[in-house]
Structure 1
Amino acid sequence: MRRLLTPRWLLLHLLAAAVVAAMLGLAWWQIGRARDGNALSIGYSLEWPVFAGFTIYVWIKAVRRELREAAGTPGAAPPEVDRPHAGPDARTSAGQAAAAPTPPPVEAPSGADIARRLAEQRAAARASAHDDDPETAAYNHYLGWLRAHPHRPPSDYPGVPT
């Protein structure tokens, strides 16, 4: 229970209370506007209490989660694994898992490797079945020319080389 009295949690409690009070105040204000003949305010006067209720719901969930973590049960413990054909000591324990050898670390690919693989994939995609179609090949050539000459107008395009 003391965890809910830390400065962080006290600020969260005050914030939740202020938000709920503000939303209920806005609902009361919308009720006054609805009495003056504003039909749209009727809907808003019903919405604000719902928003306040949702804020209370989220606050309760956060408090319960904090209390659960304080009790040492952040979530359900993973069930022990039963091995069907392993014999009498079929269940694994934390001690056995710690004693198991760890696999060697896997090296992450470098930026150059990733760039090279992406370039190879793009080249393979360009050389795909679409190049069999002469119209698609001509359009791809045009796009390549535009990329190579970004400052020249499209009217300077020489056409497909033969």
Structure 2
Amino acid sequence: MRALWTLAWIARHVVALVLIVGFLGLGWWQYSRATGGNSLSWGYTFEWPVFAFFVGFLWFREAQQELKAARQTPEHPAEEPATLQPDATDAGTPSSEAGAGTTDPASDEPVTVRRPVRASVNRQAPSPEDPELDAYNDYLAWLNAHPGARPGDYPGRRNSIK
């Protein structure tokens, strides 16, 4: 519970309270205008309390996440990144079994260093012989070469581009 009483959280509590009270006040003001004959204010009468509810929901959700994180922190301290142990044969480069023999002092479990997975990207080539696509690409290339030109100035086929 102490996690919600830091300076940053006190500021969040104050901002949330001011916004909720302000939005509800604006809703009441719109209600008084709506009962006075302004029919457009009926929509705002219901809109401002929705905004107030949304601010309350966000405040509640953020507070719950902060409390959850505060409960998990003492039990499971953040893991420090593992340091690589250089081999005697290859200085500065991890071995094939990087981290073998290294243990985490907090839990006495072996620390392993994993390499990122690299996936190849298969790019599809455009289908061969597409005259409509070729005409459109020619048109775009011409527009790129003539920045001040209008589409109607294109000297190519008139009916090729719609």
TM-score (norm 1): 0.56
SS in 2 for 1:71: helix
Residue 146 (structure 2) pairs with residue 136 (structure 1): no
- Cα deviation, 1:2-59, whole Å, max 9, x if unaligned, reads 2111111011001000100110110111011012101221232122122212211221
Residue 18 (structure 2) pairs with residue 22 (structure 1): no
Matching residue of 1:146: 142
Contiguous gaps of at least 5 residues in structure 1: 74-93, 110-116
1:1-162 aligned at under 5 Å gives the runs 1-72=1-72, 98-99=110-111, 102-104=113-115, 124-125=125-126, 128-129=127-128, 131=129, 135-136=131-132, 139=135, 142-143=138-139, 146=142, 149-150=145-146, 154-155=154-155
Please report how far the alpha carbon of residue 150 of structure 1 lies from its aligned counterpart in structure 2 after TM superposition.
2.9
* Counterpart amino acid of residue 70 in structure 1: A
Return 141-150 or 19-28, whichever deviates more: 141-150
SS in 1 for 2:37: coil
Q: Provide the identity percentage.
A: 33
In structure 2, relative to structure 1, the CA distance for the partners of 1:138 and 1:5 (3 Å cut) is closer
More helix by share: 1
Q: How far, CA to CA, are the matches of 2:137 and 2:55 in structure 1?
A: 58
Please report how far the alpha carbon of residue 69 of structure 1 lies from its aligned counterpart in structure 2 after TM superposition.
0.9
Q: How far, CA to CA, are the matches of 2:10 and 2:138 in structure 1?
A: 64
Please report how far the alpha carbon of residue 136 of structure 1 lies from its aligned counterpart in structure 2 after TM superposition.
3.3
Q: How far, CA to CA, are the matches of 2:134 and 2:47 in structure 1?
A: 59
Alignment length (residue pairs)? 120
Q: How far, CA to CA, are the matches of 1:56 and 1:34 in structure 2?
A: 25
Contact 2:16–2:59 at 8 Å: present in 1 too? yes
Contiguous gaps of at least 5 residues in structure 2: 74-106, 158-162
In structure 2, relative to structure 1, the CA distance for the partners of 1:136 and 1:53 (3 Å cut) is closer
